[in-house]
Amino acid sequence: MQTGTTSTGAMPRTRGYYLTEVLIVLGVSLGQSAVYAVVQLLDKATRAPLASQTTKLNPALNQREIFDLVYQLLGIFFALVPVALVLFLLASPGRSPFRQLGFDFARPKLDLGLGFGLALAMGAGTLGVYAAGRALGLTTAIVPAALNTYWWTLPVLVLSALRHAVVEEVIVVGYLFDRLAKFGWGTWTIIFVSALVRGSYHLYQGIGPGIGNFLMGLVFGYAYTRTRRVMPLVVAHAALDTAGFVGYALLGSAIGIGT
């Protein structure tokens, strides 16, 4: 047997192995987004006051309708590939990663009840943090939906909301909680780090949304430790983003719900 492999030829599952795995996963997903978000915040902050700038979510990707639709759908599809990656990494013989994370439909009453309850609580908090951030000049004006109006605009916005919910909750909560626990970290340390990651990749919207999403991460992380289910968080996140994206598209008023 060669050094550094198990009897099956696989790499040993040491803390170093898991650290490398986490860095790779974050490097191709939300960690990459966090780095870009920090750079974008620095760019915006040194260009003009944050309060005078606008951040557009879900922008049009092409001026021709059919190609805009194709690009939108491709973006949603490929954004979900890291989710497939972490589910693959979490899989083991006789153990479903979906069941392991509670990312299934086994407890619909809990998932829907807790999910919509969290959405209501976080929605009110998000609007409050956004208003405070705007008043203090720490947050850009947020346009949740900047798509052109087509027959497919609302369905794509709903799919975008689902995409954000699945990517963020499966990776930054389900996956990270599992892997960070293997470092020997305590529950609250893991919750804090997960929330910090969540807040960091929202900084492109301004300091306010970064703080707001950090606080949201604390609540979501605690909820996960109590239920060991990602699905209520996916429901809550999808409800929040759907309300923000579709609500803006229909009403034409920036209501500042971050993704």
Q: What is the pLDDT of residues 174-208, one digit of tens each?
A: 999 999 999 999 999 999 999 999 999 999 999 99
Q: What is the mean pLDDT of each run of 10 residues along the chain (259 residues)?
A: 46 88 98 98 97 96 98 98 98 94 97 98 94 95 95 98 98 98 97 98 97 97 98 98 95 52
Of 177, 212, 209, the residue nearest 194 (C-alpha): 177
The pLDDT value recorded for residue 12 is: 75
Number of domains in the chain: 1
236: in domain: yes
The pLDDT value recorded for residue 213 is: 97
- Which H/E stretch holds residue 54? strand 54-56
19: in domain: no
Q: How far apart are the first and last CA of the chain?
A: 48
47: in domain: no
10: in domain: no
Of 172, 169, 145, the residue nearest 258 (C-alpha): 145
189: in domain: yes
140: in domain: yes
Radius of gyration of the chain measured on its C-alpha atoms:
19
Q: Which residues pair with 95 in a beta bridge?
A: 92
**Per the structure block, which two tokens stand in for 137?**
């000049």
CB 138 within 8 A of CB 131: no
* pLDDT tens sequence across 113-128: 999 999 999 999 999 9
Of 134, 127, 156, 125, the residue nearest 58 (C-alpha): 156
The pLDDT value recorded for residue 192 is: 98
Distance between CA atoms of 222 and 229, rounded to whole angstroms?
A: 11
The pLDDT value recorded for residue 4 is: 45
The pLDDT value recorded for residue 11 is: 64
206: in domain: yes
Domain that holds residue 147: 56-90+97-251
218: in domain: yes
